[in-house]
Amino acid sequence: MEPIRILLVEDVELDAELTERELKRTNLNYVSKRVEEESDFIDLLKSFKPDIILADHSLPNFDGVTALKITKEKCPETPFIFVSGKIGEDFAVEMLKEGATDYVLKSNLPKLGHAVQRALKEFNEQVELKFAQEALLESENKYRTLFEKNKHPIIVFDDKGNFTDSNEAALMFMETNKEHLLTKNLSDVILYSDDVETIGSEEFWNKKDNLEVTFEIKGKLKILELTLTPVYLNTETIVFGVGTDITKRKIDEEKILNSLKEKELLLREIHHRVKNNLQIISTLLTLQSSQNNNVNVDDLYRESQNRIQSISLIHENLYHSKDLANINFEIYAKGLIMDLFDSYGMDSQKVRLNLDIDNITMGIETAIPCGLIINELVSNSLKHGFSDFKTGEVNVKLHRIQDGKFSLVISDTGRPFPENINLVNNETLGLELIKNLVNQLDAQLKFDRDKKEFNIIFKELEYKERI
């Protein structure tokens, strides 16, 4: 620890020795220098840089009052103690007012050590306090700058919602000045928020989500997303709200939402019109078939109608679906097969339909060829398998299997396939269509003649962009 630097302003050498003797008795670690002239005093203030000054009141060519004035001018924080033989009470009070730290009479020198220690202690405390105040001021300036220069609107309010502060970005957002804002409550400027009525409640402070508030500012609606942070200071609660102006984002979201609604309505209308057009074609085929007496031609008309109906049903399901891209295939397949039963006049009490279909949604790209395959195979079962077999079963199974694939299995217990029919090389329209549809699905077709079972393994087709 460095010794304390003591500057003595004393013309009597004996008095100086007595002073130092008293200082040594207090075990002070110090070094000292003595001056008698003003010029020497000024020089030592610069070179010696004393920690404390002990000055006699009156010297032949210099005096303590002048020394005090010079000290307050050159180094105002340095402790200054008068050590004098004679000093009146009024003078002592006046010098204390002028900035002297203390005074000690030479007739009471034992008091000097304590006075010096106390003066140095107070000086150190003042230095520490000054450093703390400067650090606090620096910190406050730094955070005030961060607060004011932040590009995000920041508002500060109490637990009742009364504004207590804001940064420049918040004032720009609300198009007002701070004086006016500080007279307002949060509820005064918010047009709408689910949470504004709960300000100050436990529910409000426990809210973890951002607070989205709508302001009406000079006839314009602005939306601010606020992140709230309550700070508890003794019995006072201060809330910091850091905001993001999401007005443009909300406007863009509304435009996108409206656009999606328009496209959804348009898509529903397209599905509805496609279904209606297919129904018109089916009706025209019905009218045409009623003018024909050829049974074989009637069968062709019916098969064409059923194929059209299988496609029409998909568009009808999509029209009524919330999801315009996918249909519930179980509902679709059941409706399709029941229409085929009606078309071929099958009694469901005698020819039983067994459906085992997983809860599967399927896109239109896959649903149409898959539906047409079901139409062809079930039609074939009803038309040829039960023409003279009046009882039996038609089985349709669709399950998810490994690797994201589906297994469609269709079989019946009707009349067996003729031995002379070759499914691979058969050129009938129905079987040729099945092979084309299987290729379209990029599927595998397996046929078990003994079980009369068709098994098609396929994956969901990805949407192909149209040119």
Please, what are the averages of pLDDT over each run of 10 residues along the chain (467 residues)?
A: 89 88 87 92 92 89 90 92 83 86 88 90 89 87 86 88 90 90 84 58 62 81 85 82 89 83 68 70 71 69 75 72 78 86 82 90 86 87 76 91 91 81 60 86 88 91 62
Are residues 449 and 395 located together in one domain of the fold? yes
Q: Which of 106, 134, 162 is the last residue of a domain?
A: 134
Tokens of 247: 């007005």
Are residues 182 and 114 located together in one domain of the fold? no
- Asked if the structure places residue 391 within a domain, the reply is yes
Q: What is the C-alpha to C-alpha distance for residues 338 and 343, in angstroms, rounded to an integer? A: 9
- Asked if the structure places residue 398 within a domain, the reply is yes
Are residues 422 and 274 located together in one domain of the fold? yes
Beta bridge partners of 362: 327
Are residues 268 and 402 located together in one domain of the fold? yes
Q: Tell me the CATH number at 356.
A: 3.30.565.10
- Asked if the structure places residue 165 within a domain, the reply is yes
Are residues 235 and 281 located together in one domain of the fold? no
Are residues 308 and 407 located together in one domain of the fold? yes
- Asked if the structure places residue 401 within a domain, the reply is yes
- Per-residue confidence (pLDDT) for residue 74, from 0 to 100: 92
Q: 356: domain range?
A: 262-459
Are residues 156 and 127 located together in one domain of the fold? no
Are residues 266 and 393 located together in one domain of the fold? yes
- Per-residue confidence (pLDDT) for residue 350, from 0 to 100: 85
Q: Tell me the CATH number at 130.
A: 3.40.50.2300
Q: What is the C-alpha to C-alpha distance for residues 268 and 466, in angstroms, rounded to an integer? A: 19
Q: Which of 193, 218, 245 is the last residue of a domain?
A: 245
The residues near 398 (Cβ < 8 Å, ≥ 6 apart) are 329, 330, 333, 356, 357, 358, 360, 406, 407, 408, 409
- 292 sits in the region (left: phi over 0; alpha: psi -120 to 50; else beta) called beta
- Asked if the structure places residue 292 within a domain, the reply is yes
- Per-residue confidence (pLDDT) for residue 367, from 0 to 100: 86
Are residues 101 and 216 located together in one domain of the fold? no
- Per-residue confidence (pLDDT) for residue 465, from 0 to 100: 56
- Asked if the structure places residue 438 within a domain, the reply is yes
3-state secondary structure the chain: CCCEEEEEECCCHHHHHHHHHHHHHCCCCEEEEEECCHHHHHHHHHHCCCCEEEECCECCCCEHHHHHHHHHHHCCCCCEEEEECCCCHHHHHHHHHHCCCEEEEHHHHHHHHHHHHHHHHHHHHHHHHHHHHHHHHHHHHHHHHHHHHCCCCEEEEECCCEEEEECHHHHHHHCCCHHHHCCCEHHHHEEECCCHHHCCCHHHHCCCCCEEEEEEECCEEEEEEEEEEEEEECCEEEEEEEEEECHHHHHHHHHHHHHHHHHHHHHHHHHHHHHHHHHHHHHHHHHHHHCCCCHHHHHHHHHHHHHHHHHHHHHHHHHHCCCCCEEEHHHHHHHHHHHHHHHCCCCCCCEEEEEEECCCEEEHHHHHHHHHHHHHHHHHHHHHHCCCCCCEEEEEEEEECHHHEEEEEEEECCCCCCCCCCCCCCCCHHHHHHHHHHHHCCCEEEEECCCCEEEEEEECCCCCCCC
Q: Which of 100, 134, 168 is the last residue of a domain?
A: 134
- Asked if the structure places residue 229 within a domain, the reply is yes
- Per-residue confidence (pLDDT) for residue 262, from 0 to 100: 72
- Asked if the structure places residue 323 within a domain, the reply is yes
Domain count within the chain: 3
Q: Tell me the CATH number at 216.
A: 3.30.450.20
Are residues 216 and 113 located together in one domain of the fold? no
